[in-house]
Structure 1
Amino acid sequence: MLDRHQLTSDLLADYALGFLSPEEAAEVEAALDLHPQAREELNAYLNGLTDLVMDLGPSPVPDGAEDRLMARLNADLAAPTHTRATAAPAPQAAAPAPTPLQVPARRPWLYPVLAVAAAAALAVVLLPTLRGTPHDLAYYQRQPGSVTTPIRTPAGQTVAQVVRLTDGHAYVRMQASVPSGRAYQAWKIENGKPVSLGLFKGQNYVAALPAGTVFAVTVEPETGSDQPTTTPLFANAI
């Protein structure tokens, strides 16, 4: 299991841009559940990519641009890396050591290019998660096998809608926005204690949550809190 110090900004960027293998990505996802500050950093990075999409505007993509981009990326990924001179091998090779999780080599020119490409993909895949538009709830409700559950107060007022997806994710749409200078903070309740799942300033939150997770939302300072400082708007098994 990765610790907080191993969840570097470079590793989170590689995860967001899809540079990691499925095994490495799964290891990062498992560590994010234990380190809410790293998840907040990842969310900030994804929000930055989303803002990039919004700033670009609806410019048409030139003909052949996708093929040229993929050809350039494939050529770069296939290029051999620089190696050090090594001594002649021993007559009998030692057993290979386990390969640790490694961050792919940084390519300064590649990140601005991939940021635009990834942002374009995020506009389709992640924008409903990060932007509060009237179509967000409908988007998730249209996913095959999704189940929607309204969260209501004892008086019958709806405070949120939860959409459980078949891939293990849950989408939460809060009914109202938070006041200026405040933010929603998500929590899961484990052994009777709240564990932070990070902040979300809009009305939308999505995360991989096992079915039956006791999920709660509070209103906190926009910098977040180690423990809830207000009464939860709700705390329900989702």
Structure 2
Amino acid sequence: MSPEEVRDLLPLYALGALSPEERSRVEEALSRYPELWAEAKALMEAASQLAEGVPPAPIPPGLEAKVMARIRALRRPSPWGWVGRAAAVLLLLALGYGAFLGGGWLLALREPTTQVLTLMSPQGEVVGRVILRADRTALVLLNRSSPRGKVFQAWGLGGGDPMPLSTFRLPLKSLRLPPEALAIAVSLEPPGGSPKPTTLFGLPR
């Protein structure tokens, strides 16, 4: 794991949103790249303050610039690149740039009733995650934007046919699941969406 790949995962690591295997890989990599500990510690302290309801301390000098630089970087994303950067944006929002938006999702990750679902492409590639709260509200985090001429469409998965939900273009979308839906899938569709999935993009693992 390269230093940049570790940085992509640090916000999710700080929020406790990684699987045990992924968390172990990050900790092993941090032992090889001790220069990343300062950034990891700052993110973990911020996440801890949010979980405890403590008013957040000022953003550590330089952290905001580092996060925003990675968001604006024009490079081929790693499998978790955009998801990690989106989590970092939520963390910064909760630290003073709109806690009403970022804070609720960050605190939801600490709740035992919150599910974090991994989305896999039909080819077995990790393409995103879904944070699903107990109130059936979900946050979809994908690792890319929709291609030209297409939109993403979310689908509620239950016992019957997939239930069509919202369409969206950006890789970050909040929505509410119907009571009968247990998980979310994402497909690529023409603008306006479809009554049935046509091109699957991500299925829950």
TM-score normalised by L of structure 2:
0.42
Mark the structure with the bigger radius of gyration: 1
More contact order relative to length (CA 8 Å, sep ≥ 6): 2
TM-score, L = length of structure 1:
0.37
